[in-house]
Amino acid sequence: MPSFDMPATVDPQAFLQLHTDDMSDPSCRIKINHGTTTLAFKFQGGIVVAVDSRATAGSYIASGTVKKVIEINPYLLGTMAGGAADCQYWETYLGIQCRLHELRNHERISVAAASKYLSNLVYSYKGMGLSMGTMICGWDKTGPQLFYVDSDGTRLKGDLFSVGSGSTFAYGVLDGGYHYNLSDEDAIELGRRSIYAAGHRDAFSGNTVNLYIVKEDGWRFVGPLLPSPSPASRLLTPPPSARSKTSTSTRCTTTAGTRPSSTRRTGRACPVREHRLSRRSRSRRSRRRREDDGALVRS
């Protein structure tokens, strides 16, 4: 088990609360990266894991490209919520122990054993200022498994969890659309919509949505997905029929029977047509002027 140098004080927890932003004193000068929304749920095809990518330090956005899923091994994933440093360190350390278990026992560690090891590890540091809420999810001999572990040593098994400052908003979407018989596409879309809803309402969550799906042959990274357009922006976009009418009404030709390489869709007059009309109007004016001059000479 790793060991750390503790502050030379009687109460290390009070020392950490005094010098970090433990939410009880947000005016502290040391700002720990935190704030997130993570979720995972089981369905008939495996497990979907969805997270946002924003990290905040106090009232500032520290990063918008944080990787909040730790790839422990090809069949096991861990999520990050709470203090970024605590989650990254302990889950990376868990990956080392899982690899040692494989070398010693010649088989992959089960999801239950990995989550129990992490729970026992952080429980030994209970009350020392750790900030961590993680989900350990993967596929082993018993099928897909999902566990929640936090920095107090709590360990829960379940089918659906959401952790982080925006989890209440994510639960609102998850509870309305979740059922076990979801298809892969519907499960991925449900995870994306849930994280997007949390990022829309929670100031500490946002940016892109990173999605993983865990199957019997291991996890697969679906990709960073950008939020879909809001309903208001979709209302402002003209339908395809209106766009086609606009494009045909503003189409112009350079010569008889030929079209320009690019069709203007801005609604402005075609410069080629304007030039030809101006030449015609000048020729008409000059013709009238000559006719008027001839009439004066004959008179």
**Helices marked H in 83-202:** 84-105, 111-123, 167-177, 184-201
Q: Which of 36, 38, 56, 208 is catalytic?
A: 36
**Percent helix, strand and coil across the chain, each to the nearest 5:** 40, 25, 35
CB 204 within 8 A of CB 81: no
- CA separation for the pair 48, 36 (Å, rounded): 17
**Helices marked H in 135-270:** 167-177, 184-201, 231-236, 240-249
Residue type, position 194, single letter: S
CB 40 within 8 A of CB 184: no
Q: Clarify whether 36 is annotated catalytic.
A: yes
Burial class (CB in 10 A: 0-12, 13-18, 19+), 22: middle
The contacts of residue 147 (CB under 8 Å, 6+ apart) are 111, 112, 115, 135, 136, 137, 155, 156, 157, 158
Residues that are catalytic: 36
